[in-house]
Amino acid sequence: MDTESGSGCAERPLRRDAARNRELILATAAAVFAEHGLEAGYEEIARRAGIGVGTVYRRFPERAELVRALFESRIEEVVAIAERAAEQEDAFTGIACFLEQTLAHQVADRGLQEVMVGAISQDVHRMIGRERLGPILESLIERAQSDGTLRADVGATDLGLQLMVMSSMSIPAQPDLWRRYLALLLDGLRARPGQEPLPLVAPETEATYVLMCNLQRR
Amino acid sequence: MDTESGSGCAERPLRRDAARNRELILATAAAVFAEHGLEAGYEEIARRAGIGVGTVYRRFPERAELVRALFESRIEEVVAIAERAAEQEDAFTGIACFLEQTLAHQVADRGLQEVMVGAISQDVHRMIGRERLGPILESLIERAQSDGTLRADVGATDLGLQLMVMSSMSIPAQPDLWRRYLALLLDGLRARPGQEPLPLVAPETEATYVLMCNLQRR
DNA sequence: GGCGAAGCGGAAAACGTCTTCCGTTCCAGT
DNA sequence: ACTGGAACGGAAGACGTTTTCCGCTTCGCC
């Protein structure tokens, strides 16, 4: 119990070369995941990093652990986007900003997109989705609705799902094709006099996560 | 050349048991594909049909062949939907009908959805997409636009992509959740005075197919 | 510099699918 | 009924990944 002078738990301080490799793996994995998604083989990461697969497995026996190490900070960026969006004078504009900026991040990094959707390690995703983003978005939505700018019958889960599908809308010739469909969506989201209410109700939070995972994997 | 009294090519008439099995495979594959998609293993089909895998491979060495045999008629249904939609008095309503009915089909049959997207055997998909559905939709769109009911800057590829992403919007608790988002989309598609034009341009037909395939596979 | 242990690389085992192959079974024509 | 060959089943082989394992290297403390 007292063998370590480290922080809290019994974490041995990792030998110099090992620490260097750990960073190397993280940096390489970031690139590989951004390009090929979270299911990229360890082989590919190892090859690009110029080290053996064994080394990658030793440091990150669980892929989820590697994913967490990589994306915890990236996800904070998204939370920051939401926070900034919530400060917008006009709540509808805030929503538009949030969607636009989050999409820009997700489209640029396939790994991030998959993380946000909970493709790997649901707990991380739930944590940010439910505990961090959820409240911010909900209050933004509520504000926009009482301002009469956002249609009254959409919820946070609706936005989440739309965000999720938009993030795949990108082709080499038009990498930001998603902007086109985001504009279309925003037009649909705007409150208008005499508007028919949407059919059905916004899906449950839990069900939304399940759907997102299914969309991703299949 | 004259050994067969069959139709056209030199197709040997298939032994009775083989013919029975062929039908059995088709029926079983229809169910399996509807449930698990086109990538379902032959193993699963064979097991459910109560026959050996070898039999399935012998009859359909190419998966694409099995897919074609199964979905050629299903796809005609979609074309028929489009034709009926084109007869609608109001062109915008026609578009709405087409989207709604096609989605209902696709959501009920994952295999059909994947075929429409060209996940297997691109040629079949292209054939129907480009040669059959394309013209019908395009004229419908044009009509709706000159009526001033559909916004002027959307194209057939835009609708195709939206259709494609909507078809995944379904959860056990709300199997027709897609109707909710279709309603939202239709609201966005409607022409309105003083509307900002959408950013970018509708994607090329070819690029659209590529994107659809990517969306599917990954 | 020497020593013990942590760390490394990558060959090989384990695994999960997809595909083939061949001994046996069953049909159809005589 | 008999026979030739088409068709069957499913075990065995091929294949692409993922994961482990162990002989050798490197580090860091004495």
Q: How many CB contacts within 8 angstroms connect chain A with chain B?
A: 104
Tell me the two tokens of residue A93. Answer: 């504009």
- Whether the pLDDT of residue A122 is over 70: the answer is no
Instruction: Provide the percentage of residues in chain A whose pLDDT is more than 70.
Output: 89
B36 pLDDT band, cuts 50/70/90, is very high
- Whether the pLDDT of residue A198 is over 70: the answer is yes
Look at residue A217 in the predicted model and tell me its pLDDT.
62
Look at residue B23 in the predicted model and tell me its pLDDT.
96
* A166 contacts B162 by C-beta, under 8 angstroms: no
Query: For residue A81, which of A69, A94, A71 has the smallest C-alpha distance?
Result: A94
Q: How far apart are CA A182 and CA A173, in angstroms?
A: 18
Higher pLDDT, B82 or B215: B82
Q: Please, what's the b/e burial string for B78-95 (b: 16 or more CB within 10 A of its CB; e: otherwise)?
A: beebbeebbebeebbebb
- Whether the pLDDT of residue A170 is over 60: the answer is yes
Higher pLDDT, A118 or B81: B81
Q: How far apart are CA A7 and CA A15, in angstroms?
A: 16
How close is the nearest chain B Cα to the Cα of A16, in Å?
38
Q: Is A174 on the interface with B (CB under 8 A)?
A: yes
A213 pLDDT band, cuts 50/70/90, is confident
Q: Is B191 on the interface with A (CB under 8 A)?
A: no
Give me the residue label for tokens 């495979």: B25
Backbone angles phi, psi at A174, to 5 degrees: -135, 80
Backbone angles phi, psi at B171, to 5 degrees: -130, 155
- Whether the pLDDT of residue B5 is over 60: the answer is no
Q: Would the CB atoms of A169 and B161 count as touching at under 8 Å?
A: yes
pTM of the model: 0.90
- Whether the pLDDT of residue B100 is over 60: the answer is yes
Could you read off the pLDDT of B108-162 as tens digits, one per residue?
Answer: 999 999 888 877 766 766 677 678 899 999 999 999 999 999 999 999 999 999 9
Q: How far apart are CA B165 and CA A165, in angstroms?
A: 7
Cα three-residue angle B209-B211-B215, rounded to 5 degrees: 120
**Cβ-based neighbours of B112, under 8 Å, separated by 6 or more:** B34, B71, B74, B75, B105, B106
Bridge partners, residue A171, by sequence: A174
* B92 contacts B190 by C-beta, under 8 angstroms: yes
Look at residue B214 in the predicted model and tell me its pLDDT.
76
Smallest Cβ distance to A198: which of B162, B184, B203? Answer: B184
Tell me the two tokens of residue B113. Answer: 């959805």
Instruction: Provide the percentage of residues in chain B whose pLDDT is more than 70.
Output: 89
Q: Would the CB atoms of A207 and B173 count as touching at under 8 Å?
A: yes
Look at residue B73 in the predicted model and tell me its pLDDT.
87
Taking residues A45-65, report their average pLDDT: 95
Query: Where do the DSSP E strands lie in A108-155?
Result: none
How close is the nearest chain A Cα to the Cα of B139, in Å?
21
User: A80 vs A86, A127, A143, A155, CA distance in Å?
Assistant: 10, 15, 19, 20
- Whether the pLDDT of residue A124 is over 90: the answer is no
- Whether the pLDDT of residue B8 is over 60: the answer is no
Look at residue A206 in the predicted model and tell me its pLDDT.
86
* A48 contacts A32 by C-beta, under 8 angstroms: yes
By C1' distance from the Cα of A19, the closest nucleotide is: C7
User: A62 vs A57, B151, B216, CA distance in Å?
Assistant: 8, 50, 27
Look at residue A58 in the predicted model and tell me its pLDDT.
96
Taking residues A162-189, report their average pLDDT: 95
Look at residue A116 in the predicted model and tell me its pLDDT.
86
Query: For residue A69, which of A109, A119, A121, A105 has the smallest C-alpha distance?
Result: A121
The nucleotides of chain C lying under 7 Å from a protein CB are 6-11, 17-22, 26-28
* B198 contacts A183 by C-beta, under 8 angstroms: yes
- Whether the pLDDT of residue A5 is over 50: the answer is no
Please tell me whether residue B217 adopts helix, strand or coil conformation: coil
- Whether the pLDDT of residue A86 is over 50: the answer is yes
Q: How far apart are CA B187 and CA B52, in angstroms?
A: 51
Collect all residues of chain B within an 8 Å Cβ-Cβ radius of residue A200. Answer: 174, 176-177, 179-180
